[in-house]
Amino acid sequence: MAKTSPGRGTAEHGSWITVRLIVIVVVIVLSVWFVLANTGSTEIRFWIPKVEAPLWFVLAGAFLVGALIGWLVGRNRRPR
């Protein structure tokens, strides 16, 4: 019989590996690979100022901001 925990889905035989965890790990690995594959320099325009920065830094920053927004939105969900 499957064990359930509130808000966590089902886990058979006490397994802590879930589909959600696998997806998170895959997204992180692919993101790191993508960031490391793009090491050139790029110019970023913030309405008026222009900034030149390494592309890996810009991509890592965008990933972290997206992860933070996703975490904040997911944290405020109502329990089902």
Q: Give the domain range for residue 54.
A: 3-75
Query: Does residue 56 lie within any of the structural domains?
Result: yes
Domain for residue 21, yes or no? yes
The answer to whether residue 55 is domain-embedded is: yes
End-to-end CA distance of the chain: 22
| 19 is a domain residue | yes
Would 37 be classed as within a structural domain? yes
Residue 80 falls inside a structural domain: no
pTM above 0.75, yes or no: no
Q: Looking at the 3D structure of the chain, how many domains does it have?
A: 1
Mean pLDDT of the chain: 79
**How far is it, in rounded angstroms, from Cα 69 to Cα 56?**
20
Q: Once rounded to an integer, what is the mean pLDDT over residues 47-72? A: 88
Is pLDDT above 70 for 10?
Answer: no
